[in-house]
């Protein structure tokens, strides 16, 4: 970690180049002999990422790590969500990385330990926490070695495993992560009441249930309808029942919880479009509880493969969008009109629909191209 980056004139240069062409900047010589142009560009990239993911770090004195460490870091919003559901006395993050999750989670615990094998990255985190006035014990050690030597117990263990292999290709199965979650899960629960693990949004939920015998909770976390994380909770005190929570942060949509496995016994009712069309958010779609949604909210599903629902009543606690719509004929579509176009279980993609009907994208009105049990239909917002 080069603390020369914190010099006033260097910080001024970094801030003045936040919108610069970084490829061109890398071809130039650093105007400061004490820092390289690569180090400067790394700080510019860090601030660019921070503007979107964790703006609380946009303050004087903060140093940013390489881009790969920033990419896997949780956003401020998802970290804040997790901090609201985890609490206790002693907390340890075994793969602290850039420490965004740990920073927010530390607000709910008295004693904090961060373990990170990358000495340079850990030094940056420790420096930043000092700047932010947050205390912790920082341990620079390989996770496996730490677990073998550790004699303490914790209320909560947190992990965010590396999801790239030695060739930097993305991996998803728990046994392919670093650390191997399958291999260490029993060890984790021997020193903690609860282990919480952040995973890829692409992970298969049924696979998780099959390989994690102590699993008792799954949270699917979306941010503005983009699924960002799947977080699993393990405990030796689990009852065998698994609760799944679907949340869509930065929206006004209700959270949705269900018993994992209930989809198999649930039955959907089918029907043609009524006054309101219900579109589940992406955290619910990731959960795959299409029959449960129909049963829980007493909604009719349009088609087996169309995950849209309908009712004549407006149900305000539905976890997704609710649109008042009517069925129209294709000849009623006015060319050059502006619509938000949705295609669900329909042969044409939105771009193809726009081209076919000469439509503009955007605005406040919706067109949904989909299928019901009776065939293809077009729905227009009222």
Q: Using DSSP, how many helices (H) and how many strands (E) does the chain show?
A: 13, 17
Coil, helix or strand at residue 262: helix
Q: How far apart are CA 1 and CA 120, in angstroms?
A: 6
The half-sphere exposure of 181 on its side-chain side, counting CA atoms within 13 A, is: 28
Q: How far apart are CA 53 and CA 134, in angstroms?
A: 20
pLDDT band at 100 (very low <50, low <70, confident <90, very high): very high
Question: What is the pLDDT, as a whole number, of residue 165?
Answer: 62
**CB 97 within 8 Å of CB 69:** yes
154-159 and 226-234: which strand pairing?
unpaired
Joined tokens for residue 102? 């740990």
- Mean pLDDT, all residues of the chain: 94
Indicate if the pLDDT at residue 166 is higher than 80: no
Cα torsion 145, 148, 154, 159: sign: positive
pLDDT band at 238 (very low <50, low <70, confident <90, very high): confident
Question: What is the pLDDT, as a whole number, of residue 168?
Answer: 62
The pLDDT tens digits of the residues spanning 333-356 come to: 999 999 999 999 999 999 999 999
- Please report, in angstroms and rounded to a whole number, the separation of the first and last CA atoms in the chain: 58
**pLDDT over 90 percentage in the chain:** 90
Would you tell me how many other CB atoms lie within 10 Å of the CB of residue 69? Answer: 20
The pLDDT tens digits of the residues spanning 201-221 come to: 999 999 999 999 999 999 999
Q: How far apart are CA 375 and CA 353, in angstroms?
A: 17
Rg (CA), the chain: 24
pLDDT band at 68 (very low <50, low <70, confident <90, very high): confident
Indicate if the pLDDT at residue 164 is higher than 90: no
Indicate if the pLDDT at residue 167 is higher than 70: no
The pLDDT tens digits of the residues spanning 22-66 come to: 999 999 999 999 999 999 999 999 999 999 999 999 999 999 999
Indicate if the pLDDT at residue 83 is higher than 70: yes
Decide yes or no: CATH 3.40.50.150 for domain 71-251.
yes
Indicate if the pLDDT at residue 171 is higher than 90: no
Q: How far apart are CA 339 and CA 361, in angstroms?
A: 5
| Residue-range domain boundaries for the chain | 3-64, 71-251, 264-381
SS3 assignment for 270-283? ECCCCCEEEEECHH
Q: How far apart are CA 218 and CA 245, in angstroms?
A: 6
- Concatenating the DSSP letter of every residue in 313-340 gives S--TT-SEEEEEEEEE-GGGPPTT-EEE
Indicate if the pLDDT at residue 367 is higher than 90: yes
Question: What is the pLDDT, as a whole number, of residue 14?
Answer: 95
Mean pLDDT, rounded, for 163-184: 80
Question: What is the pLDDT, as a whole number, of residue 72?
Answer: 82
pLDDT band at 309 (very low <50, low <70, confident <90, very high): very high
The pLDDT tens digits of the residues spanning 246-285 come to: 999 999 999 999 999 999 999 999 999 999 999 999 999 9
Task: Kindly give, in sequence order, each residue whose CB lies less than 8 Å from that of residue 144, ignoring residues fewer than 6 positions away.
Answer: 179, 184
Question: What is the pLDDT, as a whole number, of residue 47?
Answer: 95
Closest-CA residue to 324 (of 282, 365, 269, 280): 365
Question: What is the pLDDT, as a whole number, of residue 155?
Answer: 96
């Amino acid at each position: 970690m080069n603390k020369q980056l914190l010099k006033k004139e260097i910080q001024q240069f970094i801030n003045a180049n936040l919108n610069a062409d970084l490829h061109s900047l890398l071809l130039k010589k650093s105007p400061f002999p004490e820092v390289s142009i690569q180090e400067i560009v790394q700080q510019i990239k860090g601030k660019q990422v921070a503007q979107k993911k964790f703006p609380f770090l946009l303050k004087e004195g903060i140093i940013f790590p390489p881009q790969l460490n920033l990419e896997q870091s949780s956003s401020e919003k998802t970290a804040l969500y997790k901090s609201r559901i985890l609490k206790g006395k002693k907390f340890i993050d075994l793969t602290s990385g850039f420490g965004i999750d740990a920073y927010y989670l530390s607000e709910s615990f008295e004693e904090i330990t961060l373990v990170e094998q990358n000495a340079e990255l850990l030094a940056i985190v420790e420096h930043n926490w000092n700047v932010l006035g947050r205390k912790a014990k920082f341990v620079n050690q390989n996770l496996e070695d730490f677990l073998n030597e550790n004699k303490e117990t914790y209320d909560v263990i947190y992990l965010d495993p590396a999801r790239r292999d030695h060739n930097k290709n993305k991996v998803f199965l728990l046994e392919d992560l670093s650390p191997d979650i399958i291999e260490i899960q029993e060890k984790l629960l021997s020193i903690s009441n609860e282990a919480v693990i952040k995973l890829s949004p692409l992970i298969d939920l049924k696979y998780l249930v099959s390989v994690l015998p102590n699993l008792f909770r799954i949270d699917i976390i979306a941010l503005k309808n983009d699924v960002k994380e799947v977080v699993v909770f393990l405990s030796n005190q689990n009852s065998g029942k698994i609760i799944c929570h679907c949340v869509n942060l930065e929206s006004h949509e209700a959270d949705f919880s269900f018993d994992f496995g209930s989809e198999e016994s649930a039955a959907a009712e089918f029907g043609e479009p009524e006054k309101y069309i219900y579109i589940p958010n992406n955290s619910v779609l990731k959960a795959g509880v299409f029959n449960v949604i129909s049963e829980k909210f007493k909604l009719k599903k349009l088609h087996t493969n169309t995950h849209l629902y309908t009712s004549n009543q407006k149900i305000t606690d539905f976890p997704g969008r609710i649109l008042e719509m009517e069925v129209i004929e294709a000849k009623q579509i006015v060319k050059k009109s502006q619509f938000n176009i949705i295609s669900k279980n329909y042969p044409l993609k939105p771009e193809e629909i726009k081209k076919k009907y000469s439509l503009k994208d955007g605005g406040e009105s919706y067109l949904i191209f989909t299928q019901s049990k009776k065939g293809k239909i077009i729905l227009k917002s009222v």
